[in-house]
Structure 1
């Protein structure tokens, strides 16, 4: 699947558990909404993804990507060490300055 560079980097850094490179996909003031919690800024986002990587060892396989204006929607099969694996998740993104400014993960 052909993905825009930013989205391909987002997936690759997730799949290689590279939290430092992962946060470079986000703006300085980005927010992430996942599992009922909100994380703001690169420091909190790095802490969130490091914890998630350690706890779930998730791997993302993109199924579909759509972009309309500044909104992106990545649908991916995510597998890992969590109940119900694999599952299909949607990654709702608001893009700004060619980076992710907001990410909301839904099932």
Structure 2
């Protein structure tokens, strides 16, 4: 599947557990919603992704991607060390200036 460069970079950073590369996909003021919590800005997002990577070792296998204006929707199979793995998640991306400004699933 052909993914836009930003989304491909996001997936690769997740799959290699590279929090530095992961952060380069986001705006400075990005907001991530995950498991009922909100993380704002790169520093909070860095702490969140490093903790999540250590805890869940999640890998993302893209199944479908749609983009319309400033919104992207990545449907992917996510596997890792969490109950119910693997599962299919929908990553809702808010896009701004070629980066991810919001992320929730």
TM-score (norm 1): 0.97
| Aligned counterparts of 2:94 and 2:85: Cα–Cα separation in 1 | 27
| Aligned counterparts of 2:38 and 2:86: Cα–Cα separation in 1 | 24
Deviation at 1:59, TM superposition (A): 0.5
| Aligned counterparts of 1:94 and 1:57: Cα–Cα separation in 2 | 24
| Unmatched tracts of structure 1, length 5 or more | none
Q: What secondary structure is seen at the aligned counterpart in 2 of 1:103?
A: strand
Please name the residue that 2:39 is paired with.
Answer: 39
Q: What secondary structure is seen at the aligned counterpart in 2 of 1:90?
A: strand
Q: What secondary structure is seen at the aligned counterpart in 1 of 2:84?
A: coil
Deviation at 1:93, TM superposition (A): 0.7
Deviation at 1:83, TM superposition (A): 0.4
The answer to whether 1:64 aligns with 2:64 is yes
| Aligned counterparts of 2:58 and 2:26: Cα–Cα separation in 1 | 19
CA RMSD, 1 decimal = 0.3
| Unmatched tracts of structure 2, length 5 or more | none
Deviation at 1:78, TM superposition (A): 0.2
| Aligned counterparts of 1:43 and 1:25: Cα–Cα separation in 2 | 13
Q: Provide runs of 4+ in structure 1 moved above 3 Å.
A: none
- How many corresponding residue pairs? 105
The answer to whether 1:4 aligns with 2:28 is no
Please name the residue that 2:21 is paired with.
Answer: 21
| Aligned counterparts of 1:96 and 1:54: Cα–Cα separation in 2 | 29
